[in-house]
Amino acid sequence: MSPSTSSATRRRAWLCAFQWGLVQAFVLDTLGRFLRNYYRATTGVAFPPDWVVSIQFAAPLGLLVGGFGGYRWVTSGRSAASASAHRKRVVFVGALFVGWALAIVPTTVFQLVLDERLFTVPYFVLPTLTALSVFAGASLLAYRAEAGWYRKRRNRLVGGAAGGCTGVLVGVFGFVVYSWYLLATQTNYSLNGGAGIVAAACVGAAAGYARTEGDRAGDRAREYLVLLLVSALSLSLAVGLVTLALAVVGVSVFLGSSVVVPAIPVVGSVALAGYLAFVAETTLVGRFVDG
């Protein structure tokens, strides 16, 4: 096996590992959310038992265990490692990852329309049905849609996804800033940022879809989208761990910081992904997903 072939196989194995891990984390998180909503709908208690919470907490472990299994599955020769199989995995992983991130939009719409009824029978199943629809859509797009159909629409789809994810983060940032303003001015007002997040996501998706036409724009949007989601996840985890560590050692987070802290991963991820994708014009994601 030539060095270039070996390198391509390793990249494909890493992607398969991420696919397996992502699916296991997705299943655990969806199951945990379903049981939590079921428990709340049938008992009226907002906090589920510890064993239900532990299922969701096990999602990162599922990512690691599934990732190891997927990597071994490819490197041992028991799974297809061809360029065609790799492209299908790329589409599936991207669609599932993006759909999972954007699932907050329909879930927020349900909550705006139903309010507390969302956590009653039978409406509590709507978030789970949304998650299952995301998984089904990713599977259909990757393994059932014709390759030619997807190639013609790839740039638009990726641009719309990038714009939608950016819109969600902008909506969250606006909600955080407005919350800080209300606290700073001691304004007594019932605040719900769901409508703003949904509106920002829809406007961002429409703008991204309309502006991403050529292959170069599509490649930049793909680079930006992956970097945005990875950096947002990484920065959120880092901020959470730092906040937890400070709480353990007895350092209290004062009120202003407790409102600003959620904005750090939002602003940081958008700034970092935007710089790397459109200013530095990195190609790390392109080299990885192209196999």
The 3-state DSSP class for residue 69 equals helix
- pLDDT band at 1, cuts 50/70/90? very low
Q: Which value, to the nearest 10 degrees, does the dihedral of the CA atoms of residues 122, 45, 239, 71 take?
A: -50
pLDDT of residue 157: 95
Spatial neighbors of 188 by CB under 8 A, at least 6 apart, are none
CB–CB of 25/64 below 8 Å?
Answer: no
CA 14 to each of CA 11, 70, 156: distance values in angstroms, whole numbers, following the listed order: 5, 8, 27
pLDDT of residue 252: 64
Q: Tell whether the model's pLDDT for residue 112 goes beyond 70.
A: yes
CB–CB of 141/237 below 8 Å?
Answer: no
How many Å apart are CA 204 and CA 192, to the nearest integer? 20
Over range 88-117, report the average pLDDT.
92
Over range 267-288, report the average pLDDT.
90
Please list, residue by residue across 239-269, b when 16 or more beta carbons sit within 10 angstroms of its beta carbon and e when fewer do. beeeeeeeeeeeeeeeeeeebeebbbbbebb
The 3-state DSSP class for residue 262 equals coil
How many Å apart are CA 7 and CA 18, to the nearest integer? 17
How many Å apart are CA 97 and CA 22, to the nearest integer? 8
pTM over 0.95: no
pLDDT, tens digit, 9 for 90 and up, residues 53-98: 888 888 888 888 888 888 888 777 766 667 788 889 999 999 999 9
Q: Which amino acid is at 242?
A: V
Query: Residue 188: phi, psi to the nearest 5?
Result: -90, 100
pLDDT, tens digit, 9 for 90 and up, residues 187-242: 666 667 788 899 999 999 999 999 998 889 999 999 999 999 999 989 988 888 88
- pLDDT band at 274, cuts 50/70/90? very high
Inter-axis angle of helices 263-274 and 215-248, nearest 10? 150
CB–CB of 32/52 below 8 Å?
Answer: yes
